[in-house]
Amino acid sequence: ITVDETDGRYEIVIGHRRFLAAKKLGWTEIRAEVGHFTIIEKALMRATENLQRENLSPIEEGYVYLGLQEKHGFSLRDIADRVGKSFVTVKNRLDLLNMDDEVQKAVQFKKIPPAVAAELSKIDDQKDLYRYLTLAIDNGVTARMMAQWVDDRRKGLAFNPNRGGGGGQKPETTREQKVFTMCEFCQGPVEYKDVSHLTACPRCNDLLVGVVNQGYFKEGEKPQ
């Protein structure tokens, strides 16, 4: 571990978890490197150690940067240079902390990647946001696909006469927003609002897959 020595007292800078583990094992001694560090140096050393943790989530990474920013006045560029990350990475992780709590939870528990969360954050209506978030979690969409969904939603709203605009005149036609996916049985397109989910044990799932593979459904043809 690494400790900071001040007036005969020692403060753990790096290796706090190792110290606790050794204490739990009943150790009375542990190898330590002793130094004299400034507050900024200690903050950076701790941040670097935290960033090297296994399974560190993007949300947790964001809080490491936030601590450097709020407690020590670091700019995003300073943080990036000091911890060896790109400016874009630091900014993106901090942006995650400003997103809806449910989106943050989805990222924290690895239900969606940060790039998908970034696209979701462009939706300002919470009801729509949660609907698209659920679709993203259930279907494992990519950031590119989510960007397309969000863009389709925006275009759909632009044609919605109830949202105003156009000097109070209704457009001659309106565009209904539709989001499609592929049916896993007939390979045809289906709107997400019409998708059904089936809970099956491995045996029944294999039986269903076998039926499909035998050509029971023709491509694009719905079962009778």
pLDDT of residue 57: 93
Pick from 110, 70, 61: which is nearest to 89 by CA?
Answer: 61
Q: Which helix (H) or strand (E) holds 113?
A: none
Q: Which of 12, 83, 89 has the alpha carbon at shortest distance from 44?
A: 83
| pLDDT tier for residue 171 given thresholds of 50, 70 and 90 | very low
Task: Report the predicted TM-score, pTM, of the whole model to 2 decimal places.
Answer: 0.62
> Residues 188-193: what's their mean pLDDT?
66
pLDDT of residue 221: 52
Summarised one tens digit per residue, pLDDT across range 78-122 is 999 999 999 999 999 999 999 999 999 999 999 999 999 999 999
> N- to C-terminal Cα distance for the chain?
69
Give the DSSP letter string of 140-193: T--HHHHHHHHHHHHHHHHT-GGG--GGGPPPS-------EEE-TTT--EEEGG
Give the residue-averaged pLDDT of 180-189. 66
Q: Which residue has the tokens 């659920």?
A: 134
Q: Is the pLDDT of residue 212 over 80?
A: no
48-66 pLDDT, tens digit each: 888 888 888 999 999 999 9
Sorted by where each begins, the domain ranges of the chain are 180-214
Torsion of CA 44, 49, 50, 55, to 10 degrees: 150
Closest C-alpha to 81, from 50, 57, 47, 114: 47
